[in-house]
């Protein structure tokens, strides 16, 4: 078992039972520098042998645009399962996959059990990571309860969020012709807040979408 803490206590990375576990700390905003640091540690732990990785983003605050570009590059990984705490997390991951086309197959899950199964790790084969590293093994902090009703509710919420977010981006694009970038950012922010008042997007998300709208 190999366990490494990330700079600034932003998270921790561990190799256990042939699986890499990456947990971002509460309130962490992941930068390009953080992403490159994780990449270096992953390469060192894998030792040229590709492995599956589970990422716990349930407590993470945000992910900068340049960090997403780094994560979408070539890593010594077979698959990446990302576990989040809400449909909003799923929207973020789905947008990342759609816009950055990561080299390594990447998928969002609301259940740690489903994530591990997709990674090809059966329940009986899981070796518990170091105590306290992942919320996956903290029964008091399971992000979403397993159950068909919860899954259906999450899917409905996700569909609504995706439709509304994509609608806002499309509507902003329709009126943004010739607008300076900072005006597009302000317009997009105002529209998102009006349509999705309870959803928080990072400044990097707004800036990236505004740049695409203006291009």
Instruction: Characterize 60-81 residue by residue with b for buried, 16 or more Cβ atoms within 10 angstroms of its Cβ, and e for exposed.
Output: bebbbbbbbebbbeebbbebbb
Alpha-carbon distance of 108 to 83, in angstroms, equals 6
22: left (phi over 0), alpha (psi -120 to 50) or beta: beta
* Long-range CB contact pairs, 175-183, < 8 A, 24+: 176/213, 176/214, 179/214, 181/210, 181/211, 181/214
Q: If DSSP codes are grouped into helix, strand and coil, which group holds residue 30?
A: strand
Residue 72 phi/psi, 5° resolution?
Answer: -80, -5
Q: If DSSP codes are grouped into helix, strand and coil, which group holds residue 62?
A: strand
Picking from 106, 108, 39, the residue whose alpha carbon sits closest to that of residue 70 is: 39
pLDDT value for 23: 93
Specify the pTM.
0.67
CATH 3.30.750.24 domain residues, the chain: 2-142
Q: In this structure, are residues 212 and 172 in contact, taking their beta carbons and an 8 Å threshold?
A: no
Report the CATH number of the 2-142 domain: 3.30.750.24
How large a percentage of the chain has pLDDT more than 90?
33
pLDDT in tens, 158-207: 677 777 887 888 889 888 888 899 999 999 999 988 888 777 777 877 88
Alpha-carbon distance of 24 to 6, in angstroms, equals 9
């Amino acid at each position: 078992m190999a366990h490494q803490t990330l700079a600034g206590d932003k998270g921790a990375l561990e190799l256990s039972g042939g699986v890499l576990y990456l947990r971002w700390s509460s309130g962490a905003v992941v930068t390009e520098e953080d992403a490159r640091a994780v990449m270096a540690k992953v390469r060192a732990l894998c030792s040229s042998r590709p492995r599956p990785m589970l990422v716990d983003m349930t407590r993470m605050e945000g992910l900068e645009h340049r960090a997403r570009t780094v994560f979408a590059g070539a890593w010594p990984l077979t698959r990446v399962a990302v576990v989040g705490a809400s449909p909003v997390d799923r929207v973020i991951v789905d947008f990342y996959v759609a816009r950055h086309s990561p080299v390594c197959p990447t998928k969002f899950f609301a259940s740690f059990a489903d994530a591990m199964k997709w990674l090809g790790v059966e329940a009986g084969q899981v070796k518990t990571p170091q105590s306290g590293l992942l919320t996956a093994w903290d029964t008091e902090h399971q992000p979403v309860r397993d159950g068909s009703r919860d899954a259906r509710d999450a899917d409905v919420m996700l569909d609504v969020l995706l439709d509304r977010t994509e609608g806002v981006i499309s509507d902003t694009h329709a009126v943004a012709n010739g607008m300076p970038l900072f005006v597009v950012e302000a317009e997009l922010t105002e529209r998102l807040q009006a349509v999705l008042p309870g959803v928080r997007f990072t400044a990097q998300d707004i800036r990236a979408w505004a740049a695409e709208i203006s291009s």
